[in-house]
Amino acid sequence: MTVTIYHNPACGTSRNTLALIRNSGEEPEVIEYLKTPPAREVLADLIRRMGVPVRDVLRQKGTPYEDLGLSDPSLTDDQLLDAMMACPILINRPIVVTPLGVKLCRPSEAVLDILPNPQRGAFAKEDGERVVDEQGRRVT
């Protein structure tokens, strides 16, 4: 079984998601997408498999989103994909691929919906928020 995370180690949400994957006993394939961006076809396929609009995977915060005029609703999916290919920081993260699906894991605990194995113990995010209890159950 393979789990893949498109990861940015500078992002707390991405680090928490990676830690939740590892807490399930998986050692995922980690793709630092800013260093090794997915090919355009791969990104388009990931978005299709998530079942979300391309615009939902476009990161606004901390990116040149506004400077590039990407809020323009007339931009096509192809134009948005072109922008993400030209500037990978525009790809929102982390995107996780498992045998159970593909998901943009924001918040990080969204990854629990697609992990094939249960959590092996308690987990708290970097900010101290408890996500999984001592029995490996999701805290609501």
Give residue 77's pLDDT.
Answer: 98
- Active-site pick, 3, 5, 11, 31: 11
Give residue 55's pLDDT.
Answer: 97
Is pLDDT at 118 greater than 80 in this prediction?
Answer: yes
User: Residue 87 catalytic?
Assistant: no
Does this model's pTM top 0.85? My answer is: yes
Q: How far is CA 51 from CA 57, 69, 75, 88, 136, in A?
A: 11, 25, 19, 20, 28
Average pLDDT, the chain: 97
Give residue 1's pLDDT.
Answer: 63
Report d(CA 82, CA 86) in Å as an integer: 6
pLDDT tens-digit series, residues 62-96:
999 999 999 999 999 999 999 999 999 999 999 99
Report d(CA 19, CA 103) in Å as an integer: 16
Give residue 140's pLDDT.
Answer: 82
Assign 39 a pLDDT band (cuts: 50, 70, 90).
very high
β pairing state of 123-124 and 130-132? antiparallel
β pairing state of 29-32 and 4-7? parallel
- Write out the H or E segment, with its range, that includes residue 7: strand 4-7
Cβ–Cβ < 8 Å for 70, 57? no
Report d(CA 125, CA 44) in Å as an integer: 30
Cα within 13 Å of Cα(16), Cβ side: 22
